[in-house]
Structure 1
Amino acid sequence: MKKLSEPGRVMYAIGLIGLSIICFISKDFIVGRPPAWPASLNLNPALAYVSATVLIILCIGVILKKRPVISALLIALLIFFLSVIRALFHFMNDWVNGYKAIALMGGALIIAASFLENKHNIIPNASAHDSRRRLLIIAGTIFIAPFLIAGGYAHFKYADFVRNFIPTYIPFHEFWTYFCGVCLISGGVGILLRPTIHLASLLCGIMILGWFILLHIPRFVSNMNDVSDRMGLCESFAFAGVFFALAAMTKRKKRIIVNQE
């Protein structure tokens, strides 16, 4: 299971690099799909170019393991200041993307935690180093879980949109719309509970990777000029990576008891 950690980190970083490229194209920092800056601020395109460049450098640091913890934490800060804060001002009008921005920030905390050594695997009386890892995992899951739950709720509230979003070659659109909504809500609750965090994160990673392959790649290929589909491709890949990294960290070790005579 530990083998999931490395590809998970790389997937998250590659997904954000893809979003960084879209930042250059869109001339705005679009990670988490925040609302536009007020026109009076006149920040773009300079801010978009600088922030996207910094994000790419930090993602390369994660991939190459060059100060990866600091790189991941700086990614979280970048998303917080340039996306989350913007989203909060328009949260009631665009709550799905607001939760998404927060979740991508939480994903960076999960990735940072994956680089910290863990001798006790999230159990009481862990060392100070393990405690920092545990705090990052707790914070990351708290930031990600509402997005999963909100996304699941959106499958019911906007069922017509979700049904039309599913490619025609996939049958039973009605079933998959509501089934995936239930899975998202269950996953959001599951990653918050210690007994189920490993299984929930593993299943979420598999589910979202499935969406990446069966849904987002075909939509992107059919219309490469659609900005939303470009972003969906990158976001789904990044989120799948986060859940695989989380699953790797939360796998409990079997304790071997040796009887001594």
Structure 2
Amino acid sequence: MRDISMGQALFALTMLALGCLSLFSGDFAFVWQPVPAGIPGRALLACMSGAVLCMAGVGLLVRRTMALAAFILTLYTLLWLLVLHVPHVIAAPLHEVNWGACGEIATLVSASWILYATATAPWHKFYFMALTSENAIRAARMLFAVSVPLIGLEHLIYNDATAAMVPAWLPYHMGWAYFTGVAHIAAGVAILFSVLPRLAAALETLMMGIFTVFVWIPTVMAAPTQRFGWTALLISAVITAAGWIVTESYHGVSWLSSRQSQDHLAKLAMR
């Protein structure tokens, strides 16, 4: 059984924090969990959602339960994506904000899937070979690769809103909005086509971490009682953690290699 990585620890802690936020507020995670207001028992469902995130977050921090926790998170985030976000894309496919939201949640599916694939073993009751093979790990990476460009397109299309989030002390706000959008797209394309994939994943993670530190932490500090700021901070942090997990899945592959290590993928799948 493998050790708990730094990316996994951050992913677990942010999921735990998101769960606590839902439990304490009695509500879902704002626009990231767009559950209609008229749903019967909505507050109870929000608390149940929070409880799942809390238990899964704690489970990822315990070696004995991390495989089960990753399996639950894979199913839960996939359900979150398919039920809450994909219908918005189908209803309004020309609104890029819907695609960007799908991209954000799909990164969580990807990270959860990689954690499950690398932590589970054939003797587990919830072991499914098709989801843990080297092809499955590669598919999870590809899901991440097609997700981050959707976030990048959001930066480009809604450039005014993106530029407004750039810290005041930085010059050329619109330039940063375009740069980050293009960087998201470039990282996704590089991972998708295995062009320095480990380096691309690491740089994507670094960029998301910079957003978290320089955009959302000051937002929370400016209005610490506003739940939106805390939710945005945690979502940004968990997407950063997802990128970290994808980067860690390339451990053993050279930073400057444009070829995936098949032996390394096989070792990951056998853990």
TM-score (norm 1): 0.81
Going from structure 1 to structure 2, the CA distance change for 1:160 and 1:242 (only over 3 Å counts) comes to same
8 Å CA contact 2:28–2:35 kept in 1: the answer is no
Letter in 2 for 1:11: L
What residue number does 2:113 align with? 109
Misfit runs of 4+, over 6 Å? 128-131
Instruction: Report the Cα offset of residue 129 of structure 1.
Output: 7.7
Q: What is the alpha-carbon distance in structure 1 between the residues aligned to residue 185 and residue 130 of structure 2?
A: 29
What residue number does 2:16 align with? 17
1:89 to 87, 90, 99: 87
Please list, as runs of the form range in 1=range in 2, the aligned pairs for 1:89-168 lying within 5 A after superposition.
89-91=87-89, 92=92, 94-115=98-119, 132-168=132-168
Instruction: Report the Cα offset of residue 73 of structure 1.
Output: 1.6
Q: What is the alpha-carbon distance in structure 2 between the residues aligned to residue 204 and residue 31 of structure 1?
A: 25
8 Å CA contact 1:114–1:245 kept in 2: the answer is no
Instruction: Report the Cα offset of residue 195 of structure 1.
Output: 4.0
Aligned length: 242
Instruction: Report the Cα offset of residue 12 of structure 1.
Output: 0.8
Instruction: Report the Cα offset of residue 87 of structure 1.
Output: 1.5
Letter in 2 for 1:7: M
Going from structure 1 to structure 2, the CA distance change for 1:248 and 1:83 (only over 3 Å counts) comes to closer
What residue number does 2:214 align with? 214
What residue number does 1:34 align with? 33
Letter in 1 for 2:6: P
Deviation track 1:122-168 (CA, whole Å, cap 9, x = no partner) reads xxxxxx98982523422322332333111111111111111111121
Instruction: Report the Cα offset of residue 82 of structure 1.
Output: 4.0
What residue number does 2:124 align with? none
Instruction: Report the Cα offset of residue 33 of structure 1.
Output: 0.8
Say which is worse superposed, 75-84 or 209-218, in terms of deviation. 75-84
Which ranges in structure 1 are unaligned for 5 or more consecutive residues?
Answer: 118-127, 256-261
Letter in 2 for 1:112: Y
Q: What is the alpha-carbon distance in structure 1 between the residues aligned to residue 81 and residue 48 of structure 2?
A: 15
Going from structure 1 to structure 2, the CA distance change for 1:45 and 1:208 (only over 3 Å counts) comes to same
Say which is worse superposed, 9-18 or 84-93, in terms of deviation. 84-93
The yes-or-no answer on 1:233 pairing with 2:233 is yes
Letter in 2 for 1:98: C
8 Å CA contact 2:152–2:180 kept in 1: the answer is yes
Question: Which of 1 and 2 has higher RCO (CA within 8 Å, sep 6+)?
Answer: 1
8 Å CA contact 1:152–1:180 kept in 2: the answer is yes
Going from structure 1 to structure 2, the CA distance change for 1:63 and 1:38 (only over 3 Å counts) comes to same
Give the share of equivalent positions with the same residue, in percent: 20
Q: Secondary structure at the match of 1:191?
A: helix
Say which is worse superposed, 236-245 or 53-62, in terms of deviation. 236-245
Q: What is the alpha-carbon distance in structure 1 between the residues aligned to residue 130 and residue 251 of structure 2?
A: 15
